[in-house]
């Protein structure tokens, strides 16, 4: 089972158990320890995963943080646990103090559902008040899996994680601001757009009006982006289904010849003068061999007809109308460089 599957199992487990665990100890046993076990740590080895980690702080003697992950006998991650019902609204003061007096570079505050990751981006050896990463185990996203995997014992690297923590922290904070603005557009945010598009004075009434307009514009904008991406995925699925249906209807296996592959690389080489070669694809059907941009039937460049009796290339014009040119040999393809480059400019 890979790391992603482990996290999905943990998510399913948390959904099932969240209403059953009532105490901090139950939260640890049912949710938190399985989480760190999934990260590759031996939760039963105190030399690696030490419970009730103690570090005397000034006049405060014998204070303990719930767990510490150790490397070479020294703490690198401190973990403070709360009950599953705790909302984790602020950084834990005990975790804050321990971070300052130990060698730990990361602090994790968790209630078994939310995991807040802290470090010292703003001031060295002083834990930031805001986390650079927040994971909700009930709603694991692909990006969460990527970030969490960096904390896996097998690849854990303090310096590598810290080097990206700053960008991640501000990235998440900006996303949170945008999310809030989508819901409750502030006067300051509205004034930015007023300055950009409104020729008059930003009176109180104008600002109030623009708050509504900006909120509506943001929501429409995000909705259109999501719709466009969904449509793109659906279109690609339809294209794939259509191709498979064509193959099934023909009842034959498409045999792509060496000559067609050679022709493709000649055309691709020509097109690289104007477009990234990674965007150039081919598809072979029974009646012709086509060259496409972005592997989309909506973006054709040309079709190649290479049979024993006749060879020609059909190049698409600006209206995607096919104009055919006879070929004696594949080298003749170079004669139509200008036409091919004109065809690809439609997609730049």
Alpha-carbon 259 to chain mean position: 40
Q: Could you write out the DSSP letters of every residue in 3-16?
A: HHHHHHHHHHHHHH
Give me the pLDDT at residue 251, please.
Answer: 47
Asked if pLDDT for residue 253 goes beyond 80, the answer is no
- What pLDDT, on a 0 to 100 scale, did the predictor assign at position 249? 59
**Rounded Cα–Cα distance for residues 52 and 55 (Å):** 10
Percent of the chain past pLDDT 90, that is, above it, reads: 41
Tell me the pLDDT tens digit for each residue of 77-130: 999 999 998 888 766 677 887 787 788 899 999 999 999 999 998 888 888 888
Strands 64-71 and 300-306: unpaired
- Residue 19, class by beta-carbon neighbours within 10 Å (0-12 exposed, 13-18 middle, 19+ buried)? exposed
- Put simply, whether the predicted model's pTM sits higher than 0.85 gets the answer no
Is the model's pLDDT at 250 over the cut of 60? Answer: no
Contact 24, 82 (CB under 8 A): yes
Is residue 229 scored above 90 in pLDDT? no
Whether 252 has a pLDDT exceeding 80, the answer reads: no
Contact 53, 78 (CB under 8 A): yes
């Amino acid at each position: 089972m890979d790391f992603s599957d482990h996290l999905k199992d943990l998510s399913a487990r948390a959904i099932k158990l969240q209403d059953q665990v009532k105490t901090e100890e139950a939260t640890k046993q049912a949710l938190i320890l399985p989480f760190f076990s999934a990260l590759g740590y031996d939760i039963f080895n105190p030399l690696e995963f030490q419970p009730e980690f103690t570090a005397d702080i000034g006049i405060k003697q014998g204070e303990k943080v719930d767990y510490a992950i150790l490397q070479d006998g020294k703490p690198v991650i401190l973990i403070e646990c709360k009950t599953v019902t705790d909302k984790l609204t602020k950084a834990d003061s005990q975790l804050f103090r321990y971070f300052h007096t130990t060698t730990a570079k990361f602090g994790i505050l968790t209630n078994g559902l939310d995991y807040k990751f802290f470090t010292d981006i703003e001031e060295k050896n002083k834990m930031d008040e805001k986390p650079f990463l927040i994971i909700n185990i009930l709603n694991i996203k692909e990006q969460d899996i990527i970030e969490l995997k960096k904390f896996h014992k097998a690849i854990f690297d303090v310096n590598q994680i810290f080097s990206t923590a700053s960008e991640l922290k501000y990235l998440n904070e900006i996303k949170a601001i945008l999310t809030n603005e989508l819901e409750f557009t502030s006067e300051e945010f509205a004034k930015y757009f007023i300055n950009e598009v409104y020729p008059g004075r930003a009176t109180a009434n104008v600002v109030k009006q623009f708050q509504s307009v900006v909120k509506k514009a943001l929501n429409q904008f995000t909705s259109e982006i999501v719709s466009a991406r969904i449509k793109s995925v659906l279109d690609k699925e339809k294209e794939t289904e259509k191709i498979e249906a064509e193959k099934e209807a023909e009842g034959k296996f498409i045999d792509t010849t060496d000559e067609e592959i050679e022709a493709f690389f000649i055309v691709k080489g020509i097109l690289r003068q104007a477009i990234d070669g990674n965007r150039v694809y081919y598809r072979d059907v029974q009646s012709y061999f086509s060259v496409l941009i972005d592997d989309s039937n909506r973006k054709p460049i040309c079709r190649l007809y290479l049979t024993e009796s006749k060879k020609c290339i059909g190049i698409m014009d600006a209206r995607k109308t096919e104009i055919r040119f006879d070929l004696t040999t594949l080298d003749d393809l170079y004669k139509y460089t200008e036409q091919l480059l004109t065809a690809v400019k439609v997609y730049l």
